[in-house]
């Protein structure tokens, strides 16, 4: 798997990046890949890939996010969803490595952090990420975005800025973590003998 961080260029994630060969056509990265970039997230209802979100008229918006778009040419949708969840675990590990005092929970394809509420209110879970996996005729795709800023989001969120996590360090660690994990899986597949 190849990785590339488009540093210093703001790109708005609007769902159009979830198309086959986007990494190759836009960023000259061919094959299994993960492309990272930073910018707003603004996905209109008609562009939502998650039909449950679409039926619920969900609003996907953030002023500033770190985005990761993964494309795989050798996977089906179920294996891609498994990798999507593993990717969120990698993100969780990186946050907890940079800020050991934090406790991040993963529920399905989302990361959350518990924050203390005001008096007489229950603790609340603030959302850190959005993520979706889908398939094209020739590949499978994952988009995962993590809030950098939490201002103006349609649901209660926290972002990397709120947690005092350096964005560039986070992106590079997550990119390398995913690449290393996929490489390790490929090597493990090639080192075992068959059993009867």
Residue range 4-33, pLDDT digits in tens: 999 999 999 999 999 999 999 999 999 999
C-alpha closest to that of 169 among 7, 45, 46, 55: 7
Encode pLDDT of 84-134 as tens digits.
999 999 999 999 999 999 989 999 999 999 877 665 556 678 999 999 999
pLDDT at 14: 96
Q: Which pLDDT score, from 0 to 100, does residue 183 have?
A: 96
- pLDDT score of 196: 87
The values of phi and psi at residue 70, to 5°, are -105, 135
Instruction: Report the mean per-residue pLDDT for the chain.
Output: 94
- Residue holding tokens 């926290």? 158
- Identify the pLDDT of residue 161: 96
What pLDDT digit, counting tens, does each position of 39-57 carry? 999 998 889 999 999 999 8
Could you tell me the domains of the chain? 2-185 (3.30.930.10)
């Amino acid at each position: 798997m190849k990785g590339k961080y488009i540093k210093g260029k703001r790109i708005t994630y609007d769902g159009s990046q979830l198309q086959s060969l986007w990494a190759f056509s836009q960023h000259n990265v061919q094959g299994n890949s993960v492309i990272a970039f930073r910018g707003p997230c603004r996905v209109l209802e008609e562009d939502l890939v998650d039909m449950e979100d679409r039926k619920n008229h969900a609003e996907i918006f953030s002023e500033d996010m770190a985005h990761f778009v993964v494309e795989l040419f050798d996977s089906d949708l179920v294996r891609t969803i498994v990798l999507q969840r593993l990717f969120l675990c990698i993100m969780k590990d990186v946050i907890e490595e940079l800020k050991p005092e934090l406790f991040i929970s993963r529920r399905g394809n989302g990361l959350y952090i518990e924050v203390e509420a005001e008096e007489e209110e229950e603790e609340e879970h603030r959302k850190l990420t959005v993520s979706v996996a889908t398939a094209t005729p020739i590949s499978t795709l994952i988009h995962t975005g993590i809030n950098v800023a939490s201002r103006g989001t349609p649901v209660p969120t926290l972002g990397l800025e709120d947690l005092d996590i350096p964005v560039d360090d986070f992106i590079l660690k997550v990119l390398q973590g995913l690449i290393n994990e996929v490489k390790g899986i490929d090597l493990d597949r090639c080192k075992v003998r068959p059993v009867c």
